């Protein structure tokens, strides 16, 4: 009884210290027991709730995995060399303007990028300084592992439907396949070395 009076006095005087005093007094006076007057909440173990949490986790992990694989495709050497080729192409620069880049900050690279089986078939959107969006289609394959990749398709399709075939441009001699560009071409395109 004396213990409860001390607790009541402590809560009136200093509410913040009441809990610490109660704990100290309870540890020193182990003979007196304190009971709680209300019932504890029930713990429900629901299988549906657990299954829902697993489903939410699986969906989040799926989105993260898809984003990660797209990031890997975006940073592949094939996409980087294709973008380099597009930036150096006079045909693409005339149609889209300089400063060719991905259309979005986080571009979506769709298609297959399978070096092991010898198939590269990708597609992504770009835009230039003229603000004209275009879609790049690149396809390359390798008949056997001993042979190098052969480009089958490399074209840019503008929003208006104009097709710019970069393979035909290479054959015409406007851009060398090895991407060697002279200083005069750099000056025409506004690029500095």
Q: If you ran DSSP here, which 8-state letter would residue 97 be given?
A: -
Distance CA 111, CA 26 (A): 69
> What residue ranges of the chain have pLDDT lower than 70?
1-31, 170-193
Extract the runs of DSSP E, i.e. beta strands, from 38-167. Answer: 101-102, 110-114, 119-127, 133-141, 150-158, 163-165
Residue 181: predicted pLDDT: 39
Residue 39: predicted pLDDT: 81
Sort strands 163-165 and 150-158 into parallel, antiparallel or unpaired.
Answer: antiparallel
Residue 1: predicted pLDDT: 59
pLDDT digits (tens, 9 = 90+) for 62-114: 999 999 999 999 999 999 999 999 999 999 999 999 899 999 988 999 999 98
Residue 146: predicted pLDDT: 86
Residue 47: predicted pLDDT: 80
């Amino acid at each position: 009884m004396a213990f409860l009076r001390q607790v009541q006095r402590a809560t009136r005087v200093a509410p913040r210290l009441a809990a610490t005093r109660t704990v100290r007094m309870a540890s020193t006076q182990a003979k007196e027991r304190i009971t709680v007057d209300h019932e504890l909440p029930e713990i429900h173990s629901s299988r549906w709730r657990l299954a829902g949490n697993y489903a939410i986790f699986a969906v989040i992990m799926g989105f993260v995995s898809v984003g990660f694989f797209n990031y890997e495709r975006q940073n592949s050497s094939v996409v980087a060399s294709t973008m380099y080729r597009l930036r150096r192409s006079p045909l693409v620069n005339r149609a889209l303007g300089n400063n060719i880049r991905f259309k979005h900050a986080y571009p979506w690279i769709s298609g297959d990028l399978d070096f092991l089986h010898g198939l590269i078939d990708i597609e992504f959107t770009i835009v230039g300084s003229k603000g004209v969006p275009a879609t790049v289609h690149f396809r390359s394959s390798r008949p056997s592992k001993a042979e190098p990749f052969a480009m089958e398709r490399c074209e840019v399709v503008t929003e208006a439907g104009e097709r710019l075939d970069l393979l035909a441009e290479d054959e015409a001699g406007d851009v060398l396949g090895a991407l060697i560009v002279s200083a005069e071409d750099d000056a025409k395109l506004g690029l500095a070395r």
